[in-house]
Amino acid sequence: GQQLNQSPQSMFIQEGEDVSMNCTSSSIFNTWLWYKQEPGEGPVLLIALYKAGELTSNGRLTAQFGITRKDSFLNISASIPSDVGIYFCAGETGANNLFFGTGTRLTVIP
């Protein structure tokens, strides 16, 4: 079955620093999504990518859909304390049938 590996597993950064995380898969996906999850809440969609090579921004967040369709990365610029949480990548097979990565836990030190 599909396996999505995210790296790094966790990050501790100073407020104001940029963050980069990525996701690789053993399978091809037609859609990549990035979600953020905070304690006690469900995942919240950050960015959706629909085309290989696509680069999309949402405020301080930028994500890219890899050319091979087997990888994606997410960058966060100028991190702030409210960026704390777990970031998940997800590849979509059937409609809304998502395979989630293992998550990257981000801690921002003020």
Partner 1 sequence: DAGVTQSPTHLIKTRGQQVTLRCSPKSGHDTVSWYQQALGQGPQFIFQYYEEEERQRGNFPDRFSGHQFPNYSSELNVNALLLGDSALYLCASSRVTGGSYNSPLHFGNGTRLTVT
Give the interface with partner 1 as residue ranges (CB under 8 A): 1, 4, 33, 35, 40-45, 48, 88, 90, 94-103
Q: Give the residue carrying structure tokens 């990525």.
A: 22
Measured from the CB atom, is 60 or 99 closer to partner 1? 99
Q: How far is the CB of 86 from partner 1 (least distance, A)?
A: 9
Q: How far is the CB of 52 from partner 1 (least distance, A)?
A: 17
Q: How far is the CB of 30 from partner 1 (least distance, A)?
A: 10
Report the SS3 class of residue 47. Answer: strand
Distance CA 63, CA 91 (A): 13
Measured from the CB atom, is 66 or 101 closer to partner 1? 101
Measured from the CB atom, is 18 or 26 closer to partner 1? 26
Torsion of CA 31, 66, 41, 19, to 10 degrees: -160
User: 101 burial class (0-12, 13-18, 19+ CB within 10 angstroms)?
Assistant: buried
